[in-house]
Structure 1
Amino acid sequence: MSETMVLRAADGSDFDVYTARPEGVPRGGLVLIHEIWGLVDHIRDVADRFAAQGYLVAAPDILSHGGIAPALGAELFALLNDPDENVRLEAQPRMREAMSEMRSPGYAAWAVGALRTVVDWLETQEGVDGRIGAVGFCFGGTYVYLLAASDDRIRAAVPFYGTAPSPERIADISAAVLALYGQHDPALIDALPDVWERMTQAGVDFETVVYPGAGHAFFNDTGSRYRAGEAADAWERVNTFLPEHLDAR
Structure 2
Amino acid sequence: MTINKNHIPQEAFDWYDEYAHGGMDRRTFMKKLGSLVALGYSMTVLTSALLPNYALAEQVSFNDDDIHATYEEFDSPEGHGKGRGYLVKPTKEQQNYPVVLVIHENRGLNPYVKDVARRLAKAGFVAFAPDALFPVGGYPGNDDEGRALQRELDRAKIQNDFVAAANFLKSHPLSNGKLGAVGFCFGGYMVNYLAAVDSQLLSAGVPFYGTPASKELRKNIKAPLVIQLGELDERVNKSWPEYEQDLKAANVEFTMHMYKGAKHGFHNDSTARFDQENADLAWQRTLDFFNEKLS
TM-score higher than 0.5: yes
1:198-237 equivalence runs, <5 A: 198-237=246-285
1:59 paired with 2:106, answer no
Secondary structure of residue in 2 paired with 1:136: strand
Q: Deviations over 1:12-71 (max 9, x none)?
A: 622221000112325311111011121011111110000011111111001344x69412
Question: What is the match of residue 114 of structure 2?
Answer: 44
Identity score, percent: 30
**Equivalent position SS for 2:267:** coil
Which deviates more from structure 2 when the two are superposed, residues 31-40 or residues 18-27? 18-27
Say which one has the larger Rg: 2
Aligned to 1:188: 236
Q: Which one-letter code corresponds to 1:51 in the other structure?
A: A
What is the identity, as a one-letter code, of the residue corresponding to 2:152? E
Trace 1:14-163 onto structure 2 (pairs within 5 A): 14-22=82-90, 23-25=92-94, 27-65=97-135, 69-72=138-141, 74-76=142-144, 97-102=148-153, 107-151=154-198, 152-163=200-211
Structure 1 unmatched runs, 5+: 77-93
CA deviations on 1:219-240 (whole Å, 9 max, x unpaired) are 0101121111111001110011
Q: Retained in 2: the 8 A contact 1:130–1:153? A: no
Asked whether the equivalents of residues 68 and 99 of structure 1 are also in contact (C-alpha less than 8 Å), the reply is no
**Alignment length, in residue pairs?**
224
Q: Provide the C-alpha distance between the structure 2 equivalents of 1:27 and 1:99, rounded to a whole number of angstroms.
A: 31
In the other structure, the counterpart of 2:226 is: 178
In the TM superposition, residue 133 of structure 1 has moved relative to its aligned partner by: 0.6
Of the three residues 45, 68, 76, the one matched with 1:9 is 76
> Over residues 89-108 of structure 1, what are the superposed CA-to-partner deviations in whole Å (9 max), with x where a residue is unaligned?
xxxxx787545414xxxx33
Mean Cα displacement is larger for which, 165-174 or 224-233? 165-174
Distance 2:74 2:174 in 1: 20
Q: Scaled by the length of structure 2, what TM-score is found?
A: 0.71
Change (3 A) 1:68 1:225: farther
Flag as ranges the 4+ runs of structure 1 deviating above 4 A: 94-99
AA in 1 matched with 2:73: V
Q: Give the unaligned 5+ runs of structure 2.
A: 1-67
CA distance in 1, matches of 2:130, 2:147: 22
Residues 57-86 of structure 1 deviation map (CA, whole Å, 9 limit, x = unaligned): 111001344x694125x242xxxxxxxxxx
CA distance in 2, matches of 1:31, 1:96: 21
CA distance in 2, matches of 1:62, 1:49: 21
The alpha carbon displacement at 1:206 in A equals 1.7
Name the TM-score, length of structure 1 as normaliser.
0.83
Aligned-pair CA distance for 1:191:
2.1
Q: Aligned equivalents of 1:123 and 1:59: distance in 2? A: 13
Contact 1:138 1:161 in 2 (8 A): yes
Q: C-alpha root-mean-square deviation of aligned residues, in Å? A: 2.0
